[in-house]
Amino acid sequence: MSAPAKKTAAKAATSKKTAAPKQTAAAKKTAVTPKKSATKAATKTAAPKQPAAAKKTAARPETHTALVRRARKINRELAEVYPYAHPELDFENPFQLLVATVMSAQTTDLRVNQTTPALFAKYPTPEDLAAANPEEVEELIRPTGFFRAKTRSIMGLAKALSEDFGGEVPGRLEDLVKLPGVGRKTAFVVLGNAFGRPGITVDTHFGRLVRRWKWTDEADPDKVERAIGELFPKSEWTQLSHNVIFHGRRICHSRKPACGACPIAPLCPAYGEGETDPDKAEKLLKYEKGGFPGQRLKPPQSYLDAGGLPAPPLAGREA
């Protein structure tokens, strides 16, 4: 074979050898690609849908600034859903609210509201209650549970009001917490709703929801109060408490929250803990959201205008 012919043959062999790996790699890539696409598609199909906020929260830690913005947006949304949010204890003056709040421990506001009319009819002032027969008071408030301990507390605070404050409920936190059976939660209920002085009411609903929303990890009520107070202007504290508590009682329940009927689902990192099907979630709604009576025998007119129904009086007693 001549030299030019040998050179041409060598060149052809080299080209064939070089092209082979490229073809194999391309074929291998072609064979693998559909498998990856199928796996990706299957994963995408199987993955449950979550609100955008929940995905973002899971992706990276939330900054304090982002937390403040999210918390305040939730409160604005709740204010639109519950423009009639209010304290759910019936009262006509600071003394009645103070006594009713102390009695609400370990029971519902509804049960307290069904019980206090007879109590206040017989003992309308601190002086009257302080001079009452303990056994008679116990019998009147028996439906609220723990009636002996509650009798000691409300008679003790009535005596303190009579002797130390001229029969008037003080409007200062430091004075209120000195009264028997009165802690910071009770004091803020009275200050915020009887005196118009801002305060955060950390009851079981409030504490549960702010932890569920990742506003704080604290469990101690005093620490929760301080943590949430840093997220909102002081002027919003009282109404914030009403908004959160209303939501906890109506939609965001403890054991089975109605996630599918929740107006703030896109902002909630705990979305999916409860029922997500809209139709099933709607059946979990309580009070006016579910078409049922509320907790007050004499609710505000705004609540009635929104479709809320007054609670029935205690059986066998006049409201």
Q: How far is the CA of 194 from the CAs of 124, 238, 305, in angstroms? A: 17, 11, 23
The closest of 79, 57, 77 to 67, measured between CA atoms, is 57
Q: Determine the longest span between alpha carbons in the chain, in angstroms.
A: 132
Per-residue tokens: 56: 């973002």
Indicate the Cα dihedral angle 16, 18, 19, 24, nearest 10°: 120
Strand partners, 309: 293
Buried b (16+ CB within 10 A) or exposed e, 4-21: eeeeeeeeeeeeeeeeee
Q: Which residue has the tokens 């030019």?
A: 4
Catalytic residue positions?
185, 203
pLDDT of residue 210: 98
* 176 contacts 211 by C-beta, under 8 angstroms: no
Give the DSSP letter of residue 293: B
* 115 contacts 315 by C-beta, under 8 angstroms: no
pLDDT of residue 59: 64
Q: How far apart are the C-alpha atoms of 183 and 256, rounded to whole Å?
A: 30
pLDDT of residue 51: 58
> How far is residue 304 CA from its own chain's centroid?
23
Rg of the chain over Cα atoms, rounded to whole angstroms, equals: 32
* 132 contacts 156 by C-beta, under 8 angstroms: no
Q: How far apart are the C-alpha atoms of 258 and 279, rounded to whole Å?
A: 10
The closest of 221, 216, 187 to 203, measured between CA atoms, is 221
For 309, list phi and psi in degrees, rounded to 5: -115, 140
Q: Residue 237 half-sphere exposure, CB side, CA atoms within 13 Å?
A: 23
pLDDT of residue 161: 98
Is the torsion defined by CA of 140, 144, 146, 152 positive or negative? negative
Give the DSSP letter of residue 83: T
**69: CB partners within 8 A, 6+ apart:** none
For 198, list phi and psi in degrees, rounded to 5: -55, 140
Residue type, 185: K
Per-residue pLDDT tens listing for the chain (319 residues): 444 444 444 444 444 444 444 444 443 433 433 334 434 433 333 444 555 555 544 568 999 999 999 999 999 999 999 999 999 999 999 999 999 999 999 999 999 999 999 999 999 999 999 999 999 999 999 999 999 999 999 999 999 999 999 999 999 999 999 999 999 999 999 999 999 999 999 999 999 999 999 999 999 999 999 999 999 999 999 999 999 999 999 999 999 999 999 999 999 999 999 999 999 999 999 999 999 999 999 999 999 999 999 999 987 444 3
